[in-house]
Amino acid sequence: MRPGADSISNLSISDYHIHTPLCKHAEGDPKEFVSAAKSLGVSEICFTDHCPFPDGYDRPHRMEPDQFSLYREMTSDLCEVSGPHVLFGIEADYYEGCEAHLREWLPRQGFDLVLGSVHFIGNWGFDDPDQKGRWRSVDLKTAWREYFALLARLAMSSLFDVVAHLDLPKKFGHRLTDKEMIEMASPVLDLIAASGMGIELNTGGLRKPVNEIYPSALILGLAKERDIPICFGSDAHAPNEVGFGFADALVLARSAGYTESLLMRQRKRSFKPLPFISDNPPSHHRH
């Protein structure tokens, strides 16, 4: 069905990456995120706040383990008539030593979606603005190689449903050449495809120095060749970021040849068709 020119067709995309203030670096009551989605016509959102870890991993950027029940409470019963469907998920980190805990803990929480992320190379939070300086003292290719080695382990762990912000190390503009990227990303994408995971089009990158969606068109093309499914996430850390840049993300997905996106329920995946690119796209909102 072709949407009318007045419909905000791009926003009938689900937003599967939303944070809450429990992570200590987001703002807005979960209800406000839901209202924002409702006013944009976003059909479905999934809260995916940063996962707590009992070993104290990256404690400053996530809820405490004993706040998890509060997280569940804050994000439940938010579905209202004519509002978005609200899903319950988590953005869990892959790091060396995470497996035993996550393998035991994740399946017991009733999540709809588990995003898998790599935010650290060793003890270096490479996407943390406070640790950005370290990019000056590392070898660019070595850093990316170490990042992809961790992503490969993430893919082989079968702990997660969707890989979040696949080329996150580009956040501050530290890019590989296309040739280097193809060489490093391809084997990891093979593993992601074999694992049955999806990847997200994360529009958070449009709000960062790199000013580009994660992943790049180059990587998304490689993912499509391998039939890796996609979903969309704004990585909203404030209510006005819900659905951010989804018109751009839809164009990127369509250009790569995608025609459908993931629909997650209780970590079971199905698919829904992508909207058409509107003839009269809504003006792009930047914050």
Cβ count near 138 (within 10 Å): 15
Q: Output the CA torsion sign for 95, 100, 101, 103.
A: positive
- Shortest Å, Cβ 189 to Zn ion: 20
> What three-state secondary structure class fits 114?
strand
Asked whether the bond before 215 is cis by omega within 30 degrees of 0, the reply is yes
Q: Which does 216 bind (CB under 5 to 8 A by kind): Zn ion, Fe ion, none?
A: none
Binding part of the chain for Fe ion, among 33-41, 70-78, 89-97, 192-200 by CB under 5 A, reads: 89-97
Q: Which span (3-11, 169-177, 186-194, 232-240) binds Zn ion, by CB under 5 A?
A: 232-240
Q: Which two tokens stand for residue 198?
A: 């999806």
Least Cβ distance, residue 117 to Zn ion (angstroms)? 6
| Contact status: 117 vs Fe ion (CB under 5 A) | yes
Residue in the structure block whose two tokens are 């058409």: 276
* CA 159, chain centre distance (Å): 15
Smaller CB separation from Zn ion, 24 or 103? 24
Least distance in angstroms from the C-beta of 164 to Zn ion: 6
> Minimum Å distance from CB 89 to Fe ion?
11
In angstroms, what is the minimal distance from the CB of 119 to Zn ion? 8
Query: Which one, 70 or 194, has the nearer CB to Zn ion?
Result: 70
Out of 15, 112, 235, 241, the residue judged to bind Fe ion by CB under 5 A = 235
Question: Please, are residues 184 and 140 in contact by the beta-carbon 8 Å criterion?
Answer: no
Please count the other Cβ atoms lying within 10 Å of the Cβ belonging to residue 276.
Answer: 14
For Zn ion, the closer of residues 129 and 196 by Cβ is 129
200 binds Zn ion (CB under 5 A): no
Query: Contact between 241 and Fe ion (CB under 5 A)?
Result: no
How many distinct helices (H) and strands (E) make up the chain?
7, 9
CB of 4 to Zn ion, least distance (A): 34
From 213-221, 230-238, 242-250, 253-261, give the range in contact with Zn ion by CB under 5 A. Answer: 230-238
Judged by CB under 5 A, the number of residues near Zn ion is 1
What are 31-35's contacts with CB under 8 Å, separation 24+?
Answer: 31/78, 32/239, 33/236, 33/239, 33/242, 34/78, 34/80, 34/83, 34/84, 34/86, 35/83, 35/239
Distances (CA, A) of 166 to 8, 43, 180: 27, 24, 15
Interface residue with Zn ion among 235, 245, 262, 275 (CB under 5 A) is 235
**Interacting residue ranges for Zn ion, rule: CB under 5 A:** 235
